[in-house]
A and B are shown apart, each in its own frame.
Chain A
Amino acid sequence: MAVTDATLARARIPFDRSIALRHPAIFQRRVSPLLLRLALLAVFVGLFVCAIYRLDLSVVRTLQGFGALVHFVSLMLPPSASTWGKFLVYLHALGETIAIAFLGTLIAAVIAMPCGFLASRNVMPIGVLRFFTRRVSDVVRGVDQLIWALIWVGIVGLGPMAGVLAVATSDFGTFVKIFSEAIETADRRPVEGIMSSGGDKLEVIRFGIVPQVLPVLAGQVLYLFESNTRSSTIIGIVGAGGIGLHLSEQIRTLEWQHVSLLIIMILVAVALTDAVASRLRRSIAGRAGELATTR
């Protein structure tokens, strides 16, 4: 039987605002996807044009630059340090870089540990202190490590010590955030158990929270050590010690063979610390996992 228009018209449900109100998600006016796409594209292109104009980027200069770059790369081969003595100097600088990362990370971790507790809701009842600790760590984290290095060079003078302090400062900010997050997500049950058996505040922290968060923290410290090995290769650029000092010097004097050697040394050192740190991290995570399953 064919349905006539009249039947359809009679069957039509009169539109009622209440239906729209009951199902807002269906009746909501959506932005047309095409319009949205066009608007996005316009923003992207507009910013692009603006950037080209503001930053004064010209095709000619870019092409000339690429020509120079190809020339430089051809000069980089083969990597060489000219003399063994120079190579030893670079090797020592590389060792210094890793030492900066290690010492900086460790100092930051030791100082950030108590601050992490100060910034956690479940340990620190005084809101003002918590707020203050968090904001300080936010600001410290907001300033780049390289800028910290620049500031520390101004305070303790040129040399690796400024580098150590720069790494320690910027890591401190990161650690306080990570530590306090780990502490806040700690299981409440061990804490309650110790409280109910008469433990005081310090014992609650020592036996209720620390065993839970220690593996997490150790993992994070190792992870940051890894990333600091990367970043401490460059803080020498502003005079804060390590291999970056030699690298920037060799780039400035256009000794491209030395540059390529230094870059290779950096890559090898980073890969090695990566491998060691991630093995250690896995073994810590493994042990923490065992603990969790036997509990």
Chain B
Amino acid sequence: MPSALQSLPERQLEPLVKAYRDAVRAKRMQAALGLGLVLGLLGLAAWTTQFDALLLAANADRLSSYFVRIFHLENGALAWTDPAEWFWGVLPEYNFRWLWSLWDTLLIAYLGTLFGTLGGFLLCFMASTNLAPSPAHVFFARRALEFFRSVPEIVFAMIFVAAFGLGALAGVLALSIHTMGALGKLFSDAVENIDMRPVDGLTATGASWWETNRYAVLPQVLPNFTSYVLWRFENNVRGASVMGLVGAGGIGQDLMEYIRKFYYSDISALLVLIVSLVVIIDVLTGRLRHFLLGLQEAR
């Protein structure tokens, strides 16, 4: 088949080909440089963490055997062949022990979200440039919020366990502080994007700072706030499920005990329960969000 394409004369073609090759070479060089950098960092990181791929490969069977073990009951049967034995902790004979732990975990998440929301709500007006009484308020409120959300909640939990003793109180407070930091930031972002005309109107009628926030700002931001709070509640349920690892209450405490004592089938049962709880809460909050959106649109 004769080609319909016309070829440029050699003299004109040559610089074009050269430019193309140069461009390709430059791109390849750049890619190789990036790859080399990443590999170098990788080596450094592997050396720092004493990461031994050979050791891992040699012990790879231990991972699978671990999972085989946690899905076997003490009598050697597969866990799901005897659900009553596997999930003994949810049975009435044992006072629904695990179910109560799950419920406690939910309550810790609930209280953490509640207190955190209140705190974040109060601080967000201080942290918004358009509403704060003075720039100093903004500065300090923002630094405080940053601190609260940057320190991991489990660190707060450990400190609170030392101060308040073992138990759910430390977990609730840790989640509250972290939630306050995270929500305060999101809230103040929402507040900074409002329409300022209602605020001006209320200020003109002589309303106080609090009254202005209540009647001019809140109606505008409430839908946003609600969805942020729901999102945070989902996160807090996850967070509350591990609070027990440092002694701050909830289902994590049981899990920690079983892992430490090598109660294999109980570990898998609790993992299944925790994952299901998180999934159920995600689905429910998703439904609730849609329901609230519907209400808002019907208005």
Contacts and interface: CB of A to CB of B under 8 A. Distances in A.
A234 B49 contact: no
Contacts of B164: 61-62, 64-65, 68-69
Contacts of B20: none
Given A51-B107, A156-B56, A147 B271 contact: yes
A146 interface: yes
A160 B49 contact: yes
Interface in A232-282: 233-234, 237-238, 241, 247-248, 251-252, 254, 259, 263, 266-267, 270-271
B215 interface: no
Interface string A143-171: 11011001100111001110111000000
A155 B62 contact: yes
A106 B42 contact: yes
Contacts of B110: 47-48, 51
Contacts of B5: none
Interface string A18-40: 00000001000010000000000
Interface string B162-188: 111101110010000000000000000
Interface in A47-80: 47-48, 50-51, 54-57, 61-62, 64-66, 68-69, 72
B275 A143 contact: yes
Interface residues of A, number: 63
User: Among the interface residues A55, A238, A247, which one has the most CB atoms of the partner chain B within 10 A?
Assistant: A55
A248 B154 CA distance: 10
List the 6 closest pairs (A to B, CB-CB), nearest first. Answer: A65-B164, A142-B275, A99-B45, A160-B49, A55-B168, A99-B48
Interface string A94-130: 0110111011001000000000000000000000000
How many of chain B's residues touch chain A, expressed as a range?
Answer: 35 or more
Nearest to B255: A147
Interface stretch (B128-136, B192-200, B241-249): B241-249
A237 B245 contact: yes
Nearest to B65: A155
Contact of B51 (A61, A160, A238): A160
Contacts of A64: 164
User: Among the interface residues B42, B160, B164, which one has the most CB atoms of the partner chain A within 10 A?
Assistant: B164
Contacts of A139: 275
Nearest to A160: B49
A144 B241 contact: yes
A44 interface: yes
Contact of B48 (A56, A96, A251, A270): A96
B155 A150 contact: no
B23 interface: no
A147 to B, nearest CB: 6
A220 interface: no
B298 A30 contact: yes
A65 B245 contact: no
A135 to B, nearest CB: 11
Nearest to A231: B152
A65 B66 contact: no
Given A48-B114, A259-B159, A238 B245 contact: yes
A96 B151 contact: no
Nearest to A50: B107
18 contacts: A48-B110, A54-B103, A65-B164, A65-B169, A69-B164, A100-B45, A143-B271, A143-B275, A144-B242, A151-B259, A161-B55, A230-B150, A241-B49, A247-B158, A251-B158, A263-B151, A267-B147, A267-B150
Contacts of A160: 48-51
Interface secondary structure of B, over-half rule: helix
B63 interface: yes
B207 interface: no
A61 B66 CA distance: 41
Interface string B62-104: 1100100000000000000000000000000000000000011
B49 A164 contact: yes
A139 B271 CA distance: 10
Contact of B162 (A55, A254, A266, A271): A254
B279 interface: yes
Contacts of A237: 154, 158, 245-246
A233 B162 contact: no
Nearest to B47: A99
B241 A230 contact: no
Given A160-B50, A241-B49, A251-B159, A150 B245 contact: yes
Contact of B66 (A30, A68, A154): A154
B279 A56 contact: no
B274 interface: yes
Contact of A251 (B152, B162, B172): B162
B162 A156 contact: no
